[in-house]
Amino acid sequence: MIKKLARSVREYKKPALLTPLFMIGEVLCECIIPTYTSNLINNIQAGCGMKIILADGLKLVLIAMFSLMFGAFAGKFAADASTGFAQNLRKDLFYKVQDFSFANIDRFSTSSLVTRLTTDVTNVQISFMMIIRTAVRAPLMLVIASIMSANLGGRLAWIFVGFIPLLAIAVVAMVVLVMPLFKSVFKKYDDVNASVQENIKGIRVVKSFVREAYEKEKFGRASEMLRQNFLKAERIMAGAAPIMQIAMYGSMILMSYFCASIVIRSGGTELEVGTISGMLTYSMQILMSLMMATMIFVTVTMSIASAKRISEVLDEESEITAPEKPVMQVADGSIDFDNVSFKYSKSAERNTLEDIELHIPSGATVGVIGGTGVGKTTLIQLISRLYDVTEGAVKVGGVDVRSYDLDTLRNNVAVVLQKNVLFSGTIKENMRWGKPDATDDEIAYYCSLSQASEFVESFPDKYDTFIEQGGANVSGGQQQRLCIARALIKQPKILILDDSTSAVDTKTDALIRATFREKIPDTTKIIIAQRISSVQDSDMIVVLDNGRIDAVGTHETLLGHNKIYTEVYESQTKGGDFDEQ
């Protein structure tokens, strides 16, 4: 896990290595200062002249300046290394997620991925900074200060040693108790993020159903659970402070007591004032280093849970992999389903699609009809290889989709998904998702094909109109038409509309289909729809039922001969007659 995370340091190796080097210089200077201070005090006590005082004072000033310089550089390099590491780690995680198949994404919730990219990375960043800086400073200062204090005060240095087991026991106990709590804390973070994300995304639904109070209560529960878990962890970690204070002030009291006893007993001949001052300073350094070591353990303990969650994402291998020698060209828009079966999970009891045998010639218009949950969307997702089949093969242009270069395949198969997504930016910028170098004329042309140009031209800024995040400032039907234009501008060999005209009126829907027949006759068009009117003029209509093909035919052959198709048609036409009356 450490090796995997360390790869994200990359170009920040230099500051990461320079930080501990400058940290060593700072610690050496800080540990030398008490000895020089002790000598200065002892010299003054002995009645030395001003020349010696100025010489010793100048040495202290120079050492202090070097210590300040080393500390400043260590801080700068530590900040550069830790923030750069966090930037690379977020980038690595984001790029990894971009390569995931739909099956991989299904294993992680969106809120969990957000937490891993934000909170978890921040925790690891803080831990990394402490490791390259404080984790070097604390043990080094402990060792050097202990040696210097032993050299200065002899047996008095053993006072500090007596408190080390106390702190060690406290640190181990905290790690053992806190680790399980932090594991559960980050799961609670996921719940809070999920609540916020779901609420903001569906805020219009929440308000229309007057469910604000319910959503507040749901968020409050998730937030309270997070608070309780953090509170338990913080209570345990809070115990470190009094233990450290006991060790610090206890050692100072004992040091003062024994020093006073020696001075009184010897009449000041065995122990000088400067030595006492130096020993007290070293005691502070030793105990402060122990306190820092304790905080390192606590921080690292918290970040271990985050590091494991990050590693889970980095370890996840996409189930959609490119072949060694991929096919780089799609011959045409023909589609063949050869005895295809599919299920979303290997552990699933039944297949979502079963024994699909379907052959679509290039340039054909195909309608797909079926009830909710029968596998319509799953069927078309196999064509662009968003999922891989469990059994059988899907072929595009006579070639198994698993043999294609992924970019080549997906650039030739344009999918307008059921949930339309427009990104924040101008209409032009959204259109250029389909073709980055599309000209203004091309954008206008393909918007006219999708019947979007009429309302776009009515906007004051026309194609420079800014689309809010999620397309919040355009209607559902306008979103669908813009998404269709974005797909058309790719000039794909296969165009798939997954219920993508559901929010469009029947007149506009008919105009779009008529445009498809006239303007893109060579493109294979697959239309998934709930309305019979959207598919009745298709070259073939596929009726799905319970993951299987129930029938394939034209509107005329299916009507009256297929029970499912006839029932859907009659329910819609009767509803239409009723509305007209």
DSSP of 366-422: EEEEE-TTSSHHHHHHTTTTSS--SEEEEEETTEEGGGB-HHHHHHHEEEE-SS---
The CA-to-CA distance between both ends of the chain, in Å, stands at: 70
- The answer for residues whose C-beta is within 8 angstroms of residue 190's C-beta and 6 or more apart is 109, 111, 112, 115
Contact, 525 vs 504, CB < 8 A?
A: no
- The answer for residues whose C-beta is within 8 angstroms of residue 530's C-beta and 6 or more apart is 369, 499, 502
Instruction: Give residue 208's pLDDT.
Output: 67
Q: Is a pLDDT exceeding 90 seen at residue 233?
A: no
Tell me how far apart the alpha carbons of residues 293 and 172 are, in angstroms, rounded to a whole number.
12
The Cα angle at residue 487 between residues 486 and 492, in degrees rounded to 5:
140
Phi, psi of 402, deg, nearest 5: -75, -10
Query: Taking the CB of residue 275, how many other CB atoms lie within 10 A of it?
Result: 22
Residue 261's Cβ-count burial label (10 Å; 0-12, 13-18, 19+) is exposed
Helix 13-45 crosses helix 121-132 at what angle (to 10 degrees)? Answer: 50
Tell me how far apart the alpha carbons of residues 120 and 102 are, in angstroms, rounded to a whole number.
23
- The answer for residues whose C-beta is within 8 angstroms of residue 98's C-beta and 6 or more apart is none
**b/e string for 502-536 if b means 16 or more Cβ within 10 A?**
bbbeeebbbebbebbeeebeebbbbbbbebbbbbb
Confidence of residue 155 (pLDDT cuts 50, 70, 90): low
In this prediction, residues 396-420 reach a mean pLDDT of: 86
Torsion of Cα atoms, 49 then 55 then 57 then 62, to 10°: 180
Confidence of residue 18 (pLDDT cuts 50, 70, 90): very high
**b/e string for 387-412 if b means 16 or more Cβ within 10 A?**
bebbebbbbbbebbbbebbbeebbbb
Nearest to 152 by CA among 42, 308, 75, 304: 42
DSSP 8-state class, residue 108 = S
Q: What amino acid is encoded at 470 in this protein? A: G
DSSP three-state, residue 316: coil
Tell me how far apart the alpha carbons of residues 54 and 451 are, in angstroms, rounded to a whole number.
88
Query: Taking the CB of residue 477, how many other CB atoms lie within 10 A of it?
Result: 18
In this prediction, residues 388-410 reach a mean pLDDT of: 89
Please name the helix (run of DSSP H) or strand (run of DSSP E) that holds residue 335, with its range, or none: strand 335-342
Contact, 364 vs 541, CB < 8 A?
A: no
In this prediction, residues 299-316 reach a mean pLDDT of: 82
DSSP 8-state class, residue 581 = -
Tell me how far apart the alpha carbons of residues 356 and 370 are, in angstroms, rounded to a whole number.
14
Residue 116 vs residue 163, higher pLDDT: 116
Instruction: Give residue 70's pLDDT.
Output: 92
Nearest to 287 by CA among 408, 149, 383: 149
Contact, 541 vs 527, CB < 8 A?
A: no
Q: Among residues of the chain, what percentage have pLDDT more than 70?
A: 87
Residue 37 vs residue 408, higher pLDDT: 408
Phi, psi of 258, deg, nearest 5: -70, -35
Instruction: Give residue 179's pLDDT.
Output: 66
Sheet containing 540-545, strands listed edge to edge, beginning at the edge strand earlier in sequence = 413-416, 494-498, 524-528, 365-370, 540-545, 548-553
pTM of the model: 0.65
DSSP 8-state class, residue 10 = G
In this prediction, residues 398-410 reach a mean pLDDT of: 89
In this prediction, residues 550-578 reach a mean pLDDT of: 79
Nearest to 356 by CA among 329, 373, 374, 372: 374
Instruction: Give residue 336's pLDDT.
Output: 92
Instruction: Give residue 156's pLDDT.
Output: 65
Q: Which two tokens stand for residue 103?
A: 């099956």
**b/e string for 97-124 if b means 16 or more Cβ within 10 A?**
beebbebbeeebeebbbbbbbebbbebb
359 beta partners: 336
